Amino acid sequence: MLDCIAMNSTPKIFLMLLGATLIFHTTLNYMIDNIEEFETLPLPPKKIKKISTNNPTIQINAKIKDSWNLVNFSSGKTHTIKNNEAKKKAFREINWDLGFSRTKIITNGGATNPLGKTGAINLGPVDFDKVNKAPKKGYVKDKISFGNLINKELSNWYNYRTRTHNIESKNNVYIIKLKKRRFMKMRILNYYCGKKDKECRSMMCSRQQAACLTVEYVLTENGTDLFPQNIAGTNLVHNFNSPTNLN
């Protein structure tokens, strides 16, 4: 009798499995035929915050992987260092403040250069022009993490959009302690050459356009921690688009 019941249930199980298989293949074929529609579906619109500045800006070419573009903000000079042995020597001997490589940023201090005095503080997305004075302490120097140079205050300056693989600045304001008791406030306005942030939200911007950072900055005079409020000779207003929030 048990054998009879088992024999009777076998066709039902077979039909159920066959039906499930047909449903699965039908669904899979539909997704394959329509995958382009899913991939090109635009993202929901983002609220755009207009950023205008009459402060000095500098565009930094950080495109070359495994190299550093060392920037001296006082003079505006940059040095690109590619060779590993040359890097160690350059970190000690070149007059520089911050180094840029793709999305990475290091300072002239700590593990990068023990002889350097540079450190950083992240103030978050505050009003740039209302930051009038540099903090007296709390500056973080570079460390080595998993074999890489890193400054934890500067390492989280951007959001990464997984769908389009693009980088967007959080617009944080950073205070950088330089040598000769001088300070700098800065924020990163954009990461792409020839493209605004909003143009890279629903499409992938190329690597050729990436790692071309636009940085806004203001320096104090030597020996003071007060930032000037009106920068002489900068009557040109720069406009940048940046999202107020990201997915």
Residue 107: which residues within 8 A CB-CB, separation 6 or more?
A: 97, 98, 99, 116, 118, 119, 120, 141, 142, 151, 154, 176
pTM listed for this prediction: 0.70
3-state secondary structure of 21: helix
Tens-digit pLDDT string for the chain (247 aa):
545 544 566 777 777 777 777 777 666 565 545 444 444 444 444 444 455 678 999 999 988 888 999 999 999 999 998 867 678 888 999 999 999 999 999 999 999 999 999 999 999 999 999 999 999 999 999 999 998 999 999 999 998 877 777 888 999 999 999 988 899 999 999 888 765 555 565 555 655 678 789 999 999 998 899 999 865 444 344 444 433 333 2
